[in-house]
Structure 1
Amino acid sequence: MENNNLRGLMQMIVRRFGFLNERCCEDCCGDDISLVQSHILYEISRQSSPSMQDVANALGMDITTFSRQVKTLVERDLVKKTPHPNDNRVNLLSLTVKGTATEQNINNEMNKYLNSLFSNLSVFERDTIIRSLDLLEETMKKSESKCCPPR
């Protein structure tokens, strides 16, 4: 496959998944959750009491932009910031009850869509795609590219 075609394929997959996630956030939550905010909620739920810097790094966001997004999520009672017990300069993040429900709603909607999408494939095709995506993700983690640094 030519590199231009490969890049175009990856761009379209990422774009379509981003649009899907964006629409999902609008439709399922009852809240006006942006795509970036949904990623923040997901990452906080994935980690155990992460620091703000940990989540910002995982998402590839600069801390200033990330802090503004977290401030909005705190104001909307979706995220709680707690000073680290050993270092008051560090804030730990957790989801509130409302934040957990919102993240779960987004997760449920995305899973419904993906299950629907994969239902059109054979078991072999589905498993092949999942294995390929796992392999791609592992390869990207190991990459030393300045364009896409490992996280």
Structure 2
Amino acid sequence: MPVEPYDEEGDPEPGTHPMQYRHALTGGEGCIAQARHHATDFLTRLLDDHGLDVSPRAMDVTQLVVSELVTNALKYAPGPVLMELRHSGTTVVVVVWDSEPTVPAARAPDPDRIGQHGLEIVKAVTQDLDIQRQTVGKRITARITLTDTHDTRITTRP
């Protein structure tokens, strides 16, 4: 089993050189689209520069998760939002930090409710979702499997 580049607290393991990307989001026009674009670029670099298998599902799910988490952070938290993407073994890790300490909770199913399904969606499509209150704000960490046995893997860029 390969050594994971991050330990359980999300810190780099000694002697590893994990690939990661960090960006502060201001909430301006196009911010959410920009976050999705950064996620796509990150996964494309894993594929092209590092030769890792990345499934079409991983591409789509990562963009969806980034969009949902960043949208919620910008909607409910005052101040900046920080997004981090990193490669960890067979997963891509999406971390979104915001200044609002309230931990979100998935709501009970309601077929008449319009909207507010983001956390339910993220929980359904990720391998793992962790929400931690921080000294200031909160950190939401989602792990998405890079490959999927149901998808054809992308091995070269078109």
Q: Does 1 or 2 have the higher relative contact order (CA < 8 Å, sep 6+)?
A: 2
Indicate whether the TM-score tops 0.5: no
Q: Under TM normalisation by the shorter chain, which class is it?
A: under 0.3
Structure number, greater radius of gyration? 1
Select the structure that is richer in helix.
1
Select the structure that is richer in strand.
2
TM-score, normalised to structure 1, is 0.25
